[in-house]
Amino acid sequence: MTAHIYTAFDDELKYLMRRISEMGGLAEQMVGESVRALVNSDAALAQKVISDDVIMDTAEREVGDKAIVTIAKRQPMAADLREIIGALRIASDLERVGDLGKNNAKRVMAVQGTGVPRKLARGIEHLSELAMTQLKEVLDVYTTRSAEKAKSIRDRDEEIDAIYTSLFRELLTYMMEDPRNITSCTHLLFCAKNIERIGDHATNIAETIYYMATGSQPEGERPKDDTTAAFGASE
Amino acid sequence: MTAHIYTAFDDELKYLMRRISEMGGLAEQMVGESVRALVNSDAALAQKVISDDVIMDTAEREVGDKAIVTIAKRQPMAADLREIIGALRIASDLERVGDLGKNNAKRVMAVQGTGVPRKLARGIEHLSELAMTQLKEVLDVYTTRSAEKAKSIRDRDEEIDAIYTSLFRELLTYMMEDPRNITSCTHLLFCAKNIERIGDHATNIAETIYYMATGSQPEGERPKDDTTAAFGASE
């Protein structure tokens, strides 16, 4: 009987892990496709990303429902309970990543045809590649549950931040050069900020995995805010 | 014995509710003070908001720890379990509201002395008043647990969105008029977006309260995204 209960519980944990992995795969894809749509002015691809967001929303709700039913039915303790609470948190972060990808996709039409310079488009692409790598690695760590690896990903958000800051600066310069660039560059600023936030969510997930593996939060503050907030203050 | 356990559990729920209310009060205060600091170029007040964010981070961690210990110890079912999972979610939304207030406070120095027109400052103030009202009402509903009221707050996010959109438009115009406005107006754009996101978090909390009270998600999609993403697309 006990063995049977354990097996059923393991199945439920496996279900949660599988759904999280699926959500992670879709989140990565949405981020990649939204940036591709932006760079290539591909309205059809943007539309696909926007529709895919519904799948993410549904998946988050289903993970949430399953998590709560599992806690109520199995009454898990310690590591098992952390596993389920962690799944809830990760699903929520991934759903937000999907939202950010969708928001970027929505900006494709606004930027389309405004002649975004190649250099700025490359900057956005580069930023998104970093964010996607971080997301991919964190999802791999979710499978292996290495607390050490989770901690190292969490400590690496600064690279994204540095690129975001230089892109922010470039976009402002470009806006100042010609007022006709203002609308499209504003959208690109929000796109860049969205991608920077995707990196933040990857970092949140890394922290959650660390917590799932160890039962405690990783030590030391991490910079959760970008450095552009003060940009211009001393100029 | 059972009576004793129930009392202890009630105490734990009361503890969570009290902490959530405290977090809510501080979040409101941070949002209000950050906008006041922005409008009055008050660097000292901005600094206070930035330091207050640590209190929010600590509170979220403590609510999380308490929630998990309570689930493990009391093994609650149904409504009691939803109560605790709901507290986790609400704490996470309030912590994000604090982050957004802090991010706005950080922009005070960048905007200071750039002569933000009174009209734009009023626009930001108006937007933040709406977001704070929404936050205040949702925290009241957290105390009364009225599912009906939670649903009506959730359905009202559109007002904030409309004001945000008109402010977005005004800020772009102002940037186009004079390139020297671009840096400060970009910060104000992000401030406005942050406040719009605070409204989103209030809406999330309303949904969580509805879920706590009824065990299900409120029906019908709500617009989680702002409408400015497509702004300029047809122009």
Task: Give A77-135 pLDDT, tens digit per residue.
Answer: 888 999 999 999 999 999 999 999 999 999 998 887 776 677 788 899 999 999 999 99
CB contact under 8 A, B232 and A183: yes
| pLDDT < 50 stretches in chain B | 1, 234-235
pLDDT digits (tens, 9 = 90+) for A25-78: 999 999 999 999 999 989 999 999 999 999 999 999 999 999 999 998 888 888
Answer yes or no: do B71 and A81 touch at CB < 8 A: yes
SS (H, E, C) B46-101: HHHHHHHHHHHHHHHHHHHHHHHHHHHHHCCCHHHHHHHHHHHHHHHHHHHHHHHH
In percent, the amount of chain B with pLDDT more than 90 equals: 63
pLDDT over 60 at A214, yes or no:
yes
Nearest-angstrom CA–CA distance, A200 and B12? 32
pLDDT, tens digit (0-9, with 9 covering 90-100), for B1-22? 455 556 788 899 999 999 999 9
Alpha-carbon distances of A83 from B12, B124, B137, rounded to whole Å:
22, 42, 34
Q: Domain B2-227 belongs to what topology?
A: Methane Monooxygenase Hydroxylase; Chain G, domain 1 (1.20.58)
Q: Identity (one letter) of the amino acid at A79?
A: A
Chain segment A37-49, per-residue pLDDT in tens: 999 989 999 999 9
Q: How many CB atoms lie within 10 A of CB A118?
A: 9
Interface size, chain A vs chain B, as Cβ–Cβ contacts under 8 Å? 104
Q: Is B222 on the interface with A (CB under 8 A)?
A: no
pLDDT recorded at residue A224: 57
Question: In this structure, which long-range contacts are made by residues A132-138, counting pairs with CB atoms below 8 Å and at least 24 apart in sequence?
Answer: A132/A28, A132/A31, A132/A32, A132/A198, A134/A160, A134/A199, A134/A202, A134/A203, A135/A24, A135/A27, A135/A28, A135/A31, A135/A97, A135/A198, A135/A201, A135/A202, A135/A205, A136/A28, A137/A202, A138/A202, A138/A205, A138/A206, A138/A209
What pLDDT, in 10s, does the model give residues A199-208? 999 999 999 9
Q: Chain A residues with CB inside 8 Å of B184's CB?
A: 232
In chain A, which residues have their Cβ closer than 8 Å to the Cβ of B106?
A: 225, 229-230
Tell me the residue length of chain B. 235
In angstroms, rounded to a whole number, what is the distance separating the alpha carbons of residues A192 and A196? Answer: 6
Give chain B's end-to-end CA distance (angstroms, integer).
Answer: 71
B 70-99 near A (Cβ less than 8 A):
71-72, 75-78, 81-82, 85, 88-89, 92, 99
Put simply, the answer to whether A106 touches B230 (Cβ < 8 Å) is: yes
CB neighbourhood size of A173 (10 A)? 12
> B229 in contact with A at a CB cutoff of 8 Å?
yes
Q: Is A217 on the interface with B (CB under 8 A)?
A: yes
Q: Which residue in the block uniquely carries the two structure tokens 């998600």?
A: B217
CA distance B140 to B118: 32
What is the rounded average pLDDT for all residues in chain B?
Answer: 88
CATH architecture of the domain A2-228 equals Up-down Bundle (1.20)
* B202-217 per-position pLDDT tens digit: 999 999 999 998 888 7
Distances in Å between the alpha carbon of B48 and those of A51, A122, B42, B53, B194? 42, 39, 10, 9, 18
User: Predicted ipTM?
Assistant: 0.86
What long-range pairs does B58-65 form, CB within 8 A, spacing at least 24?
B59/B19, B59/B22, B59/B23, B59/B26, B59/B91, B59/B95, B60/B23, B60/B91, B60/B92, B60/B94, B60/B95, B61/A217, B62/B19, B63/B16, B63/B19, B63/B20, B63/B23, B63/B87, B63/B88, B63/B91, B64/B88, B64/B91
Write the CA distances from A138 to A25, A132, A211, integer angstroms.
11, 10, 13
